[in-house]
Amino acid sequence: MSQTFRLGLFIVATLAVLVAGVFMIGSRESMFQSTYRVKADFQNVAGLADGADVRVGGLHEGTVKQIQLPNRSDGKVTVSMDLQKATRDVLKKDSVAAIKSEGLIGDKYVEISFGTDSAAQLKNGDTIASEAPIDMSNLVKKADQLLDSAKSGVADLNGTASNLKSISAKVDQGKGTVGALINDKTVYQKVNAGATALAEDAEALKHNFLLRGFFKNRGYEDASDLTKNAIAHLPESTPMKTFEYDGREIFAKPNEAKLKNEKTFQEAGDYLQANKFGLAAVVVSVGMKGETDKDRVLSEGRATAIRDYLAKNFRLDDTRIKTIGLGKTNGTGDGGKAEIVVYSAASSAVGPAVGPAGSPALQTK
Amino acid sequence: MLIDLLQATKSGIVSFFEWFGELGLFCGQVVRAAFGAPWEGRELVRQMDSIGSKSFPLVALAGAATGVVLSLQTRESLTRFGAKAMLPAVIVFSLIKESGPVITGLIVSGRVGAGIGAELGSMRVTEQIDAMEVSAVNPYKFLASTRVLACLLMLPLLTLAADASGIFLGWISTTLSHPMTLRLFLHNGLRDATLNDFLPPICKTAVFGLIIGFVSCFQGMRTRGGTEGVGRSATSSVVLSSLFIILADVILVRFIQVVFPS
């Protein structure tokens, strides 16, 4: 190996190291690629240094070249960055530069967001918008405030909880209105009494002259009155006597149960007073006009009205007077008809009562 | 007695400054001789070979050892501080910024400085240099400037060799305990490096080369007193050039920090 060859080999080898080193380091500084410069103004660069990374989409695409303090107190710190040409496709005028940190205490770098597709391209020397960096000390301060407020919040909650506790304790002990409501039986009793009184008041109202007419026309005051003394059908034995009346003559209006010409019942009443009877059934039917349901109620109402009249005006055992509302019945004429069918005591066994109240008369001898 | 002491101190101070004065004159003569024909090309190549390529194994070995030691030592420290990921960066930065240049300078000053001092010293005491002057060959040009220039050119290249072998052996040492590819090692190591971290320290060793060349040639050419003087010249060449390299490094590091901020 000649000395010249040896020297040449040495020189070439070491220069190759030099070239490799220069390019490996230089490529990081974007020294050998065409770049363009972009600026961003920050109020505070949070320790960003010259030569720091500029990342686009998380990739190293540039270097911070210069950080300049403003020359006026109301100015901003200008960060100049050299970016590779390739980033021109994604960085637009509305891209935003943000100073970020690798981990909590790591190196600072600038991250530039992608722009919108429609925005204008960046030109050399353009200034883009910036985002204030997260300052660790600020972060710690805010976290501290947050913890403080959380603490007072918890204290408030504790207060609320203790209030609730005392409230529930008072309720349990029967103190206060709610406590009394829950624990005091007298309240319930009073409410109950009040309800009873109300029912009585309502009853009184029914008899009040203003409302009396309505109930009188209807023939009954309570729906339960209608069937209180009703029986399903007549006894099978032969009646002692039957009184028949035309509906139009004894009732004021075709669709009401209010009686007129009450004197008509004098004969029947006298007969019942005079003779010992086992059962007297007031059988009422109405004409074919109107709805079936309403007519049935009307017939029951009319029967009840007749029975009430007899019970009120004659001295007789009203428990033995029963009603049957037949409702619509063919061949009774438009006004309907009423019958008082009287049975002797021996032949007055009847079928089961329809009414809920039942009737002692059903067990007549 | 006191007068003797004062006399000795005085003569010491005087000779100290005289030494610097003579060195300055010598440097001036060498620089003046270096410019202008005839170009001693063959002698320059010979010197570059003996200073550069023949020092390569020694320098590469020293650099490799440094890389291994750095890897072994700093891994322990960095692990203690929880910064083990910084190991490649520490090795690379340490080598290219300081260890590589200084180790190279000291190794070359030891090997080449001693050689130049002894060679020129023996030429001086055997009156070969005087014979050269008589035969109209400028010894400053033929002997000194070629050696100084060779040192100047070779030191940066030797530094690169030291850096490269140091980083490579540093990687091997690292990857044996904690496997990682050379690519990743270099990526991590050079991630934060700039050319200002790399090139100025390389160029700085050219100054080391100048120091080795000038001091060794000067010490060799002013040799007095036979073979004993030759030995003194060889020793003083190594001692003085090593000392000046380290002193110059202080100034150069500060100079680089100011002129080439990273």
Question: Measuring CA to CA, how many Å separate A245 from each of A162, A269, B158?
Answer: 80, 14, 146
A69 backbone dihedrals φ, ψ, rounded to 5°? -70, 150
Question: Which among A159, A177, A179, A160 has a CA at the least distance from the CA of A169?
Answer: A179
Q: In residues, how long is chain B? A: 262
The answer to whether position A282 is within a domain reads: yes
Q: B14 CA to chain A: closest CA distance, Å?
A: 43
**Domains of chain B, residue spans:** 34-259
Any idea what the CATH number is for the domain that residue A331 is in?
3.30.1330.60
The CA distance from B99 to B112, in Å, is 19
A235 backbone dihedrals φ, ψ, rounded to 5°? -60, 160
Measured at the CA of A56, the angle between CA A50 and CA A62, to 5 degrees, comes to 35
Could A28 and B190 be called an inter-chain contact, meaning their C-beta atoms sit closer than 8 Å? yes
- Residue A29 touches chain B, beta carbons under 8 Å: yes
**Predicted confidence pLDDT, tens digits, chain A (365 residues):** 687 888 888 888 888 888 888 888 877 655 556 778 888 988 888 888 887 888 888 888 888 888 888 888 888 889 988 888 888 888 888 888 888 887 766 778 888 988 888 888 888 888 888 888 776 777 788 888 999 999 998 988 988 898 888 888 887 887 777 777 777 777 778 888 888 888 888 878 777 766 766 766 676 667 777 777 888 778 878 888 888 888 888 887 777 788 888 888 888 888 888 888 888 888 888 877 778 888 888 888 888 888 888 888 888 888 888 888 888 877 767 778 888 888 887 765 554 444 444 444 444 43
Q: What stretches of chain A show up as alpha helix (H) in DSSP?
A: 3-28, 136-173, 176-183, 185-207, 209-218, 223-226, 247-250, 266-274, 292-313
Residues 60-119 on A with a CB inside 8 Å of B are 107
The CA distance from A206 to A222, in Å, is 10
**Chain B interface mutation, best of A4, A9, A17, highest count of B Cβ atoms under 10 Å:** A17
The answer to whether position A195 is within a domain reads: no
Are A118 and A248 members of one domain?
no
Q: Which residues constitute the domain of residue A231?
A: 222-363
Are A226 and A358 members of one domain?
yes
Tokens linked to B45? 């190549």
Are A243 and A341 members of one domain?
yes
Q: What is the ipTM of this complex?
A: 0.80
User: Which of A114, A134, A154 is at the close of a domain?
Assistant: A134
Tokens linked to A117? 């597709």
What single letter denotes the amino acid at residue A166?
S
CB-CB: which of B49, B158, B192 is closest to A3?
B49
User: Which of A119, A134, A149 is at the close of a domain?
Assistant: A134
Q: What stretches of B35-99 show up as alpha helix (H) in DSSP?
A: 41-48, 56-80, 87-94
Measured at the CA of B35, the angle between CA B33 and CA B37, to 5 degrees, comes to 90
The answer to whether position A5 is within a domain reads: no
Tokens linked to A239? 């009646």
Domain count, chain A: 2
- The DSSP symbol for A237 reads S
Q: A109 CA to chain B: closest CA distance, Å?
A: 12
Could B157 and A29 be called an inter-chain contact, meaning their C-beta atoms sit closer than 8 Å? no
The answer to whether position A155 is within a domain reads: no
Could B190 and A31 be called an inter-chain contact, meaning their C-beta atoms sit closer than 8 Å? no
Residues of B in contact with A24 (CB under 8 A): 186, 190
User: Which of A94, A114, A134 is at the close of a domain?
Assistant: A134
Could B158 and A17 be called an inter-chain contact, meaning their C-beta atoms sit closer than 8 Å? no
The answer to whether position A140 is within a domain reads: no
The CA distance from A137 to A46, in Å, is 10
Contact B66, B95 (CB under 8 A): yes
Question: Which among B106, B77, B134 has a CA at the least distance from the CA of B241?
Answer: B106
Are A226 and A329 members of one domain?
yes
Are A227 and A358 members of one domain?
yes
Are A240 and A357 members of one domain?
yes
